[in-house]
Amino acid sequence: MKIRSVEYAGTIAEPGGQAPGDLLQIAFSGRSNVGKSSLINTLLRRTRNKLAHVSGRPGKTRALNFYRVNDAFFLVDLPGHGYARVPVAVREAWQQLIEWYLGKSGAVRGVVHLVDARLAPTEHDRRMVEYLSELGIPALIVLTKMDKLKRSEREKSMSRAMRDLQVAAEQLVPFSSRTGEGREALLDALEALIGGAEDTAGHPTGRAP
């Protein structure tokens, strides 16, 4: 997949909100400091004029942010979790929003879940993957910050993720926003997830049912 156009399309802040169109949707999730905004900007080639805001303060994303890609699908940035220093009520509201979006909106074609390659998957990571399996939503696990690992640590990180999250090797993508490692593999995986969102002439056909 080649990225030809990207634009911010809209936000949903509460359960029951309307998406900014009827394109297929791929959601991106992960803990608050996993590097999700950096990954999205690297993936979409927006490293100079950043699309997703990169902040030194975890928990910056507080709603569902929609980005229209190639006029073919929406990339949806979900609120982070884990280290966000926000009131319990806010975290619970985020959880309700995410559960509504994944479980009831009916528009999600797949979820890309980010895990820091340097750390063991958390209980929340495990619950998320199990939840997606229960919903029947395809999950792709991206191991971020791979450039920070020594060569000898890379395979250990991937084996740990497969074991702890009970996923196959084909569901893992090692990624580095600094070096660009994994960008093409992730784009290929997204293309497979949206399955036919673009025809061979490059015209969008991926409308949600």
Q: Where do the structural domains in the chain lie, given as residue ranges? A: 6-194
Between residues 58 and 97, which one has the greater pLDDT?
97
Q: What is the mean pLDDT of the chain?
A: 84
Structure tokens at 21: 């169109």
**6-194, what's its fold?**
Rossmann fold (3.40.50)
* Global confidence as pTM: 0.85
Alpha-carbon 34 to chain mean position: 11
Between residues 149 and 81, which one has the greater pLDDT?
149
Strand, coil or helix: 63: coil
pLDDT tens-digit map of 36-61:
889 999 999 875 555 554 444 444 45
Pairing state of beta strands 64-69 and 73-77?
antiparallel
Strand, coil or helix: 96: helix
Per DSSP (E only), the strands in 104-187 are 108-116, 139-144, 172-174
The pLDDT assigned to 19 comes to 93
pLDDT tens-digit map of 99-128:
899 988 778 999 999 999 999 999 999 999
The pLDDT assigned to 51 comes to 59
Q: Find out whether 131 and 162 touch, Cβ atoms under 8 Å.
A: no
